Each structure stands twice: as C-alpha cells, then as structure tokens.
C-alpha cells in the first residue's frame, strides 16, 4: 500500500512545499529548497518490513545530476541518496512496530530550480508517497507548535559542508529542541538584490528595488523579488491577508525569521543605494507580513555589507522604539579572518563557504545568541 501525500501521517517543513493543487493536493508535494524536509510514521505488523519512497522524476533536465536526499529511518541516517522513481529504504528495524521516517532534500545542482511563466522548476524533488507493507497503519504526525524561517544564500544552503553539517542545519536542530519546526529558504548566488542560482540565475533577488537615491525611495519590482514567493510558478508564500504562511492558510506565520544575506551583494557589487533601500524596505515588508515574529539579521560570516546591515537594524529600532522584536547578530571580524587566510593550507574553517569544522564552530557561536534573542524579545 502507498501512504498518499495528503495523509495526516505526514508533516512537511513549513514554507517549502507546493503540490498539484496550489500548496496542497493529493498527487505530489514538490520543493527545490535544500534543507526542506518531511516526516511520516506508520505501524507495521510484518516480521520482515519493507518500504520505499516514490518520486516523479520526469522533469529532470538532461545532463544534470538529480538532487540528493538524506533520510533517517528508525533512528539511522543514510546520506547522498540520488532522487529516483523508487528508493528502497534500508535499515528498517523489524523489532519495532512503529517506523518513523524523516527525508531531507540534501542538495541539488544550482540551476533550473525556480521556474517561471506559469511553470515550476524542473530540477526539483517531487515526492509522490511512501510504499509500505500491506496492512500497515499510518500514524498521525504531531508537529511542533512554532516555526522558524531561515533565509540565505549558498552558505545557508550548505555549500562547502557535507550532509547534515551546515550551520543552518545545526541551528535548525537546536531550534527544534525549543519547540520549533523550520523552513529553510536558501539559494546559491542570491542576495538582497543579487539573483540566485548559477549566473545569470533564474531565481529573483530577495527584494528588488531600483532607482533609489541615497538608500531611499526607488521602485519595488515584485516580479523580480522572491521574499513573498515559494517558486516561479506564482505560488505565494503569503496568505489571503498578506501574511507569511506555512501552508497558505491564515494564522500560520513564523515566530522567528533569520536572514543571512549580503555576501553575494558585496561580491557582485550591487548598487549601494538600491541595496540599502532593499534591506530597509524588506525589513518593513517582513514586519508587516509577520507582525509578531522575532526578526534576526545575521551579518555574513565574511563581514560583507556589515555596516549597512547594522545601520538598517538601528534605523528600524529608532523609527519603531516599541518594536523589540528585531535583532542583529554579528560573529565579528575574527570569524571572517578564519575563512580568508592568504595561505590555502591555513584555511582550516573553509574559504568563502565554511567547511564542516567552520560550520560547527560558527553554529556554536550563533546558537546561544539566537536563543538569547528569543528569550529577551
């Protein structure tokens, strides 16, 4: 038997998924976001249990390696598994009755993921169900009470680190201990203005502003912005009231938003005035779309756009003294220096992208500050 995607036994990471009926449906769930996940549980009476993940791989472009997943079945992880029409699950524990599966989109080639003009991306994970033994009973899943939206570029996507080792994954697991699910919305090459995925990139910048003067005014281009969208196929991240929504319904706003942008804007020399306007205006848009969320602006590990980010957060605090729900976290220039020594042999924490050691060290510095901001909001 197959557990269909609309079964209450599933939980899908908030803000990451679309389906055959908008953000839901009965046939499939689809995501392009590395770090997106789902959970499902079932009870089996079989003494020799089997299971398989089924996917629709018909859209994959020729010449591009398919996305890879990691999955945890009954407490055992398996990583670097290419997406395929059927993935037979290994490591099913026959001594227990209830089986718990978590699947994470681990990585994908940074191209053809966004889509546009009425079509979703082709280089995506399209999940159609889990096949289990006949007579198995799906077990309803109970999600955690809140959710965090983690936004960023290739560093947040996990480039440079191996599976389950990025700073964003480690932060997300810490948040789970505090009762948070999470949605990871990260795209390589992207920034506040910088377009994402391999240049020229089909993923819009986070919040597109052009024609500003000294960081003020300018024209916002919604079609060239992704802050309020899931993909290029008009799937909105907002509900009918213009609020950020986990699954499209009202009252599903994130409790925490963390943004790690600025690296690609600095490297690609985005227009300084428009960049400043983008940061300021996007923080205003996020506040309107999630009035009660704690918003944390993370200065990139390489210190890109650090001054502009500090100024933006200070400006919001001064203009909105009653809003105590915005914070800035800066791990400091020492972290930047650890990634940029002149001698490659000294780059024990990575280069532009933190390696496993760098990601673990940065996460150990970041997590307490995030928890402190959550406590003192």
Which tens digit of pLDDT belongs to each residue from 49-58?
Answer: 999 999 999 9
**Helices (H), ranges, the chain:** 154-157, 167-176, 263-267, 272-289, 306-319, 333-339, 356-375
Residues 127 and 151 in one domain: no
Query: Above 90 in pLDDT, residue 361?
Result: yes
pLDDT of residue 341: 66
Residues 185 and 221 in one domain: yes
Residues 96 and 207 in one domain: no
Question: Considering only 17-31, 106-120, 164-178, which range has the smallest mean pLDDT?
Answer: 106-120
How many separate domains does the chain show? 2
> What is the pairing mode between strands 146-152 and 180-186?
parallel
Residues 123 and 169 in one domain: no
Beta strands in 201-332 (DSSP E): 209-210, 219-220, 256-260, 294-298, 326-329
Residues 87 and 201 in one domain: no
Percent of the chain, pLDDT > 90?
91
Query: Above 80 in pLDDT, residue 39?
Result: yes
Q: 202-218, pLDDT tens digit by residue? A: 999 999 999 999 999 99
Q: Could you tell me the pLDDT band of residue 234, with boundaries at 50, 70 and 90?
A: confident
pLDDT of residue 60: 96
Residues 103 and 133 in one domain: yes
Among 101, 124, 139, residue at a domain's last position: 139
pLDDT of residue 64: 94
Among 139, 168, 193, residue at a domain's last position: 139
Q: 241-271, pLDDT tens digit by residue? A: 999 999 999 999 999 999 999 999 999 999 9
Half-sphere exposure (Cβ direction) of 232: Cα atoms closer than 13 Å: 21
Q: How far apart are CA 326 and CA 319, in angstroms?
A: 12
Residues 312 and 174 in one domain: yes
Percent of the chain, pLDDT > 70?
99
Residues 172 and 121 in one domain: no
In this structure, what CATH number is given to the domain that contains residue 74? 2.60.120.260
Residues 107 and 182 in one domain: no
Residues 252 and 332 in one domain: yes
Among positive and negative, which fits the CA dihedral 104, 174, 256, 327? negative
Among 119, 139, 159, residue at a domain's last position: 139
Full residue range of the structural domain in which residue 215 is found:
146-375
Residues 168 and 128 in one domain: no
Identify the DSSP state of 158.
T
In this structure, what CATH number is given to the domain that contains residue 339? 3.40.50.1110
Residues 256 and 321 in one domain: yes
pLDDT of residue 45: 80
pLDDT of residue 268: 94
Q: How far apart are CA 290 and CA 277, in angstroms?
A: 20
């Amino acid at each position: 038997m197959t557990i269909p995607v609309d079964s209450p036994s599933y939980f899908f990471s908030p803000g990451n998924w679309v389906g055959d009926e908008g953000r839901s449906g009965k046939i499939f769930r689809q995501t392009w976001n590395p770090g997106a996940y789902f959970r499902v549980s079932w009870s089996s009476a079989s003494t020799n249990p089997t299971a398989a993940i089924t996917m629709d791989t018909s859209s994959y472009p020729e010449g591009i390696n398919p996305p890879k997943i990691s999955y945890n079945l009954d407490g055992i992880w398996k990583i670097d598994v290419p997406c395929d029409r059927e993935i037979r699950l290994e490591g099913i524990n026959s001594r227990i009755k209830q089986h718990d599966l978590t699947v994470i989109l681990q990585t994908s080639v940074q191209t053809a993921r966004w889509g546009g003009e009425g079509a979703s991306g082709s280089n995506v994970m399209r999940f159609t169900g889990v096949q289990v033994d006949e007579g198995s009973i799906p077990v309803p899943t109970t999600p955690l009470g809140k959710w965090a939206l983690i936004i960023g570029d290739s560093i947040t996507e996990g480039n440079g680190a191996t599976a389950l080792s990025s700073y964003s994954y480690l932060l997300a697991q810490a948040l789970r201990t505090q009762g948070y699910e999470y949605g990871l919305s990260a795209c390589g090459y992207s920034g506040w203005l910088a377009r994402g995925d391999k240049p020229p990139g089909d993923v819009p910048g986070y919040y597109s502003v052009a024609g500003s003067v000294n960081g003020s005014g300018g024209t916002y281009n919604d079609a060239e912005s992704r802050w309020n969208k899931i993909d290029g196929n008009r799937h909105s991240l907002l509900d009918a009231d213009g609020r950020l929504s986990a699954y499209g319904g009202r009252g599903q706003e994130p409790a925490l938003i963390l943004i790690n942008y600025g690296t690609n804007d600095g490297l690609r020399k985005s227009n300084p005035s428009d960049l400043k306007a983008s940061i300021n205006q996007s923080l205003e848009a996020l506040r309107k779309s999630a009035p009660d969320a704690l918003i944390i602006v993370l200065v990139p590990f390489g210190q890109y756009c650090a001054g502009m980010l500090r100024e933006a957060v200070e400006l919001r605090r001064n203009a909105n003294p009653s809003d105590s729900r915005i914070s800035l976290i800066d791990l400091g220039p020492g972290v930047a220096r650890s990634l940029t020594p002149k001698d490659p042999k000294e780059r024990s924490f990575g280069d532009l992208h933190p390696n496993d050691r760098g990601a673990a060290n940065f996460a150990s510095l970041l997590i307490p500050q995030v928890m402190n901001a959550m406590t003192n909001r």
